[in-house]
């Protein structure tokens, strides 16, 4: 018959391993005996481990804080006052205030590198010869006599009333911009109103074509040449 072993403290049944090789106690008695002051490694409760306030020495309520609530409030006030003393001219990184527009003297919004003018003065500065797209005043020249409403309708009909770059239809362009699709001169010459020099674009795509003209000229020229080639086959 197997022997039954009991806890030396409460008398409950325990395993043979606990009785022969362990402490001879059940789990409840062992845990209660090893907790608190009864533990050989006891060095005072967790209350004794809490730090003290570094300013007044008062015992804190948590392990993360360094100051009590009152001392922390006074510390933040000193930081705020110190920050106010370091603003403006008292700051070591002070640059003499925000830069001003070189034309009208208006204060600019920030310190962006290369910005010397406000928005209104910049728009005036880009007019005429200062504009990077300036072409000796070609835009002020009148259109030729061939530039008629019938020609525009003919070109839009040939292109199925669709922008040849983004695919926007005439109806979508009317809803978004309240305008019909525009006709763009591929070589940027208003006097050249041949059908192979005209293409249908929406308002946005037509404005994009004003920049990087060499690229757009070759791009739209390739589209029209392929379109005319397919029509002639």
**pLDDT, tens digit, 9 for 90 and up, residues 13-62:** 888 777 777 777 787 777 766 655 555 555 555 556 778 888 888 888 77
What pLDDT is recorded for position 205?
Answer: 92
Residue 2 predicted with pLDDT over 70: no
Angle at CA of residue 35, ends 30 and 36, nearest 5°: 150
Nearest-Å Rg of the Cα atoms of the chain is 43
**pLDDT, tens digit, 9 for 90 and up, residues 129-150:** 666 555 655 555 677 788 899 9
Determine the 3-state secondary structure of 45 from DSSP. coil
For residue 165, the 8-state DSSP code is T
pTM over 0.95: no
Nearest residue to 189 (alpha-carbon basis) of 129, 135, 233: 135
Q: Which helix (H) or strand (E) holds 217?
A: helix 213-232
Share of the chain above pLDDT 90, in %: 21
């Amino acid at each position: 018959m197997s022997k039954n072993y009991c806890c030396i403290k409460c008398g409950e049944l325990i395993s043979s391993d606990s009785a022969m090789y362990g402490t001879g106690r059940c789990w409840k008695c062992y845990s209660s005996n090893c907790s608190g002051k009864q533990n050989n490694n006891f060095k005072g409760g967790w209350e004794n481990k809490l730090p003290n306030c570094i300013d007044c020495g008062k015992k804190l309520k948590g392990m993360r804080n360094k100051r009590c609530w009152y001392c922390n409030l006074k510390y933040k006030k000193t930081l705020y006052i110190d920050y106010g003393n370091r603003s403006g001219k008292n700051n070591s990184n002070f640059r003499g205030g925000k830069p001003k527009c070189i034309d009208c003297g208006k204060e600019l919004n920030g310190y962006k590198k290369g910005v010397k003018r406000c928005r209104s003065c910049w728009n005036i500065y880009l007019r005429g010869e200062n504009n990077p797209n300036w072409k000796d005043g070609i835009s002020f020249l009148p259109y030729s006599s061939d530039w008629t409403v019938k020609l525009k309708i003919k070109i839009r009909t040939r292109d199925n009333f669709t922008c040849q770059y983004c695919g926007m239809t005439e109806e979508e362009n009317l809803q978004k911009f309240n305008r019909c699709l525009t006709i763009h001169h591929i070589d940027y010459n208003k006097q050249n109103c041949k059908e192979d020099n005209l293409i249908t674009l929406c308002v946005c795509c037509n404005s994009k074509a004003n920049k990087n003209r060499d690229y757009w000229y070759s791009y739209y020229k390739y589209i029209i040449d392929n379109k005319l080639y397919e029509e002639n086959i």
